[in-house]
Amino acid sequence: MMKRIRSMVLMLAMGGFLVASFSCTQRPNEEQIRVMEETRSATLDAEKKLDELKQKRQQMESELAAKKDKAGDCDTKGAAVQQRASAWQDQ
């Protein structure tokens, strides 16, 4: 019984030592801070570029829809002209 308690106390002490030794870290050094700032800056630039490209895509999609609509109108008018030309030739 005493050996069991002693073993548990020893295990708890070792566990506490491990937690204490790995949980306390040093502050980041200058190189790590510089890399972190560069990464942050690159991320912000990439997000800005993504937003710009999304806006450009939206604009191009709306232009495409307008041109498709105009092409549909031209097709309709062309079909009407063909029909009138056929009717005129039949007369």
Mean pLDDT of 9-18: 71
C-alpha distance from residue 29 to each of 13, 32, 42, 56 (Å)? 31, 5, 20, 41
Reading the block at residue 47, the tokens are 């997000």
Per residue in 24-77, pLDDT (tens digit) is: 567 878 888 999 999 999 999 999 999 999 999 999 999 999 999 999 888 898
- Asked if residues 36 and 28 have their Cβ atoms less than 8 Å apart, the reply is yes
Q: Could you tell me the pLDDT band of residue 17, with boundaries at 50, 70 and 90? A: low
Domain locations in the chain?
30-85
